[in-house]
Copies of this chain bind each other. A is one copy, B any other.
Amino acid sequence: MSLKGNACIGQSGGPSIVINASLVGAVQAAEKSELVDQFFGAANGVSGVMNEKMFDLFREDDEVLKAMRYTPSAALGTCRIKVTEADVARCMEVFKAHNIRYFFYNGGNDSQLTCHQISELAKQSDWDMRVVGIPKTIDNDLVVTDNCPGFASAARYAAAAVQFAARDAMAFGQAEIVEVMGRHAGWLTGATAVGRKEDWMAPHLVYLPEVKVDPDKFLADCEACYKQYGYLVVAVSEGFTFAESQLATTSDKVDEFGHARLGGVAEALGKMVEEAIGTRVRTDKLGNLQRCFAYCMSDVDNEQAYAAGYAAVEKALAGETDIMTTIVRNSDDPYEWEIGTTSLMSVADQTKLVPAEWINADQNGVTEEFIRYVAPLLGKTPPQVPMDIPAYPVFQRHMVEPKLEKYQRAK
């Protein structure tokens, strides 16, 4: 069962605050084994594999690797690519040319599908290879796993930001709408409710993308809260939609997957609320900072991301393949967890929405169960996070010598 050769790891999709913790976990697990000769980091995910842009992570400085565990955003570079059959075939050629026997891919459900496709083709082409996915997405929408590394730190940013912005709104006795990432799944937006310990505290209203909002009730709820508490804080998902009609906030631009770029929801709602309740409404779109604001790193999240990467390598070395590592929750309070695994097919292309029973009856908040789920994940900033204006390291990138013809992707 012991398989000797090279390994390769890639990072995919939107970066997160702890994605590099998974990378460092994987490298440090591989360093302990005799089976891995070289451990290639693919520059910009599968795009780096296809183009043979890879560098040996074992040659990177140990101190840099240690610091990278606490550095936000994909240090290997990332990509958003919908891989074709030809792309997967090309990857296989590259794996063979560089004797890559282990492939690890850190990403969301699209990336786990890519992983599975590679695993399948390896089997078909008799290339003895082990493929393990590592979960990552700030949206927290992968099934099976308790949560997705990257989510908790982003949630901590969003939840803290809402409390800070709330004080600003209180100081003026005005209203504030905070726009949170999450196109389809409301995990991040819902997490902002953790800070509401008393009724008067923010956020007073929370709208997940799972809910189609009634415009009249929305404005009535805003007005009622504003009157009752003397200020108003509303958290809305970027995927906020009204029941009847969509808010005219999608831009004409589309992302790499053909999804319309969202945003501007808070601003559009702000204008409506301002007219309806007659107080100034400030709006803040949390934007990209949600996934990179490292002061908000959760120690729980970092630990889980590291463990998910570390275990991925251990499992692969032990002979497992076509799986993704998962977080398994054993208890809520105290929060206890361990690493598990699931088949790639069980998670690929699936989306875990917030269950309807975790959304309150008024459809403008979350239940106690939601809070019980999310609260223990938020943790605190690990002491290793640089709290000055950080000068983060970069990898030296000793690139491999390409062995194949250049690859031209079909359009």
Contacts and interface: CB of A to CB of B under 8 A. Distances in A.
Interface in A41-66: 44
Contacts of A373: none
Contact of A387 (B170, B288, B380, B388): B380
Given A167-B71, A167-B292, A295-B160, A378 B387 contact: no
A171 B289 contact: no
Interface stretch (A73-81, A104-112, A140-148, A300-308): A73-81
A339 interface: no
Contacts of A195: 389-391
Interface residues of A, number: 51
A188 B290 CA distance: 21
Interface string A381-402: 1000001111110000000000
Interface in A115-157: 156
A64 to B, nearest CB: 14
Contacts of A390: 160, 163, 195
Contacts of A73: 164, 167-168, 170-171
A289 B15 contact: no
Most buried by B among A194, A201, A292, A391: A292
A168 B291 contact: yes
Contacts of A282: 287-288
A77 B170 CA distance: 7
A165 interface: yes
A382 to B, nearest CB: 11
Contacts of A77: 170-173
A294 interface: yes
Nearest to A271: B253
A322 interface: no
A287 to B, nearest CB: 4
Interface in A150-190: 156, 159-161, 163-165, 167-168, 170-173, 176
B167 A72 contact: yes
Contacts of A75: 171
A78 B165 CA distance: 14
A249 B168 CA distance: 24
14 contacts: A15-B167, A73-B171, A74-B171, A75-B171, A78-B171, A78-B172, A79-B172, A161-B293, A167-B392, A195-B391, A285-B287, A295-B381, A378-B388, A380-B388
The 10 A-B pairs with the shortest beta carbon distances in the complex, nearest first, are A73-B167, A74-B171, A164-B292, A284-B287, A195-B389, A73-B171, A15-B171, A168-B292, A78-B171, A159-B389
